[in-house]
């Protein structure tokens, strides 16, 4: 028995056939020569399938036209108007490709970064590449969504229950949460999941940066309904939002320029009570933050160049990240 052709593959084959036909194709031509239409069980089933496909192509902007034989009005055929469907040649100047290449460097998370780079590779295939040295020192860095974003978005679209480990903003307590996800939204430089907390039987908001480990979707799709009544979204997000504060960090001279640029106060190491210890030869900075987890992520990236001093939750968050990196490094060393 022949394998059934998926609708997307059938549509693509239909577009290719109608684009390359020398004259036009009748319905009988399409049924016998285009991959997928032989699956129709009857003439009526083929008619329904073809009518749906025609409507889909036109909705997508494919210029499908109908032709009639001037001598035989009943002889009807179909083709794609290539003059209205073919894109003009794409051309970019070196400066334009340079700007687009620079824009592609904005995204640093794995998913968006790879997509941006694939786009730039295609652009360079149709235009001259810019001078790589022209972008040095200009690249802007923007964090993409947290790893939990993609699986939660899928769960929102499929209305599936999710479970994950979550660190509460108010207490720092880590618990396992089971949630019916309603929506994702961005607020105050962070992403939030708003949904129904199953264990607490109440609506809650969860900041994605506080989700640890993997998000797992469980159960069937369309397992719950998103409520139509008004929910105090802003109030839920405010409860889940991080509390701003001021951090003290000890930095080696000449290091952590981004932290130094944001420092509210810089105190020489000789003014600290530990000038003979690990803080010797370091500058103590006071840096304002809006999210302790984001600051911890930044500090951990500096390694030994920056020591987190206060608040305690910042120190713990930095140490947690460094321990995880050390475990990964040890695992790689053990496999080498």
The residue ranges of every structural domain in the chain are 7-85, 94-135, 149-240, 245-333
Per-residue buried b or exposed e for 61-80, using 16+ beta carbons within 10 Å of the residue's own CB: ebebeeeeeeeeeeeebbbb
Residue 182: predicted pLDDT:
92
Residue 301: predicted pLDDT:
86
Distances (CA, A) of 250 to 256, 284, 314, 325: 10, 4, 13, 21
Lookup: tokens for 15: 């577009």
Residue 155: predicted pLDDT:
93
Residue 41: predicted pLDDT:
85
Q: Which CATH class is domain 149-240?
A: mainly beta
Residues 6+ apart with CB under 8 A from 152: 162, 181, 184, 193, 208, 215
Residue 178: predicted pLDDT:
95
Residue 136: predicted pLDDT:
43
Residues 6+ apart with CB under 8 A from 298: 258, 259
From CA 285, how far away is CA 175, in angstroms rounded?
A: 33
Q: Which residues of the chain have pLDDT under 50?
A: 1, 110, 131-139, 269-275, 332-336
From CA 319, how far away is CA 169, in angstroms rounded?
A: 18
From CA 215, how far away is CA 208, in angstroms rounded?
A: 10
Residue 174: predicted pLDDT:
84
In sequence order, the β-bridge partners of residue 96 are none
Residues 6+ apart with CB under 8 A from 29: 77
Name residue, tokens 């939204």. 185
Which secondary structure element, helix H or strand E, spans residue 255, and what is its range? none
Residue 145: predicted pLDDT:
66
The architecture in CATH of the region 7-85 reads: Orthogonal Bundle (1.10)
pTM of the complete model = 0.47
């Amino acid at each position: 028995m022949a394998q059934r052709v998926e609708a997307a593959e059938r549509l693509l084959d239909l577009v290719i056939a109608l684009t390359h036909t020398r004259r036009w194709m009748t319905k009988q031509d399409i049924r016998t020569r285009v991959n997928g239409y032989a699956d129709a069980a009857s003439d009526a089933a083929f008619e329904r399938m073809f009518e749906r496909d025609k409507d889909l192509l036109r909705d997508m902007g494919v210029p499908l036209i109908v032709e009639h034989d001037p001598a035989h009005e009943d002889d009807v055929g179909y083709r794609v108007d290539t003059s209205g469907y073919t894109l003009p040649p794409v051309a970019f100047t070196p400066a334009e490709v340079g700007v687009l290449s620079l824009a592609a460097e904005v995204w640093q998370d794995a998913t968006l970064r790879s997509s941006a780079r694939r786009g730039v590779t295609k652009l360079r295939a149709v235009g001259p590449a810019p001078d790589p040295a022209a972008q040095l020192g200009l690249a802007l860095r923007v964090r993409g969504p947290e790893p939990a974003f993609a699986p939660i978005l899928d769960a929102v679209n499929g209305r599936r229950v999710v479970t994950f480990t979550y660190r509460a903003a108010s207490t720092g307590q880590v618990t396992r949460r089971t949630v019916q996800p309603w929506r994702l939204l961005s607020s105050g430089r962070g992403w939030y999941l708003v949904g129904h907390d199953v264990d607490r039987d109440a609506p809650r908001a969860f900041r994605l940066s506080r989700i640890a480990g993997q998000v797992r979707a469980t159960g069937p799709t369309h397992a719950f309904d998103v409520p139509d009544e008004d929910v105090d979204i802003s109030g839920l997000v405010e409860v889940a939002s991080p509390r701003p504060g001021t951090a003290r960090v000890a930095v080696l001279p000449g290091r952590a320029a981004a932290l130094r640029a944001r420092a509210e106060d810089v105190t020489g190491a000789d003014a600290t009570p530990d000038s003979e210890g690990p803080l010797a030869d370091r500058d103590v900075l006071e840096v304002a933050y809006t999210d302790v987890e984001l600051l911890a992520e930044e500090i951990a990236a500096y390694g030994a160049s920056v020591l987190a001093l206060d608040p305690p939750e910042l120190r713990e968050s930095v140490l947690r990240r460094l321990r995880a990196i050390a475990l990964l490094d040890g695992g790689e060393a053990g496999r080498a």
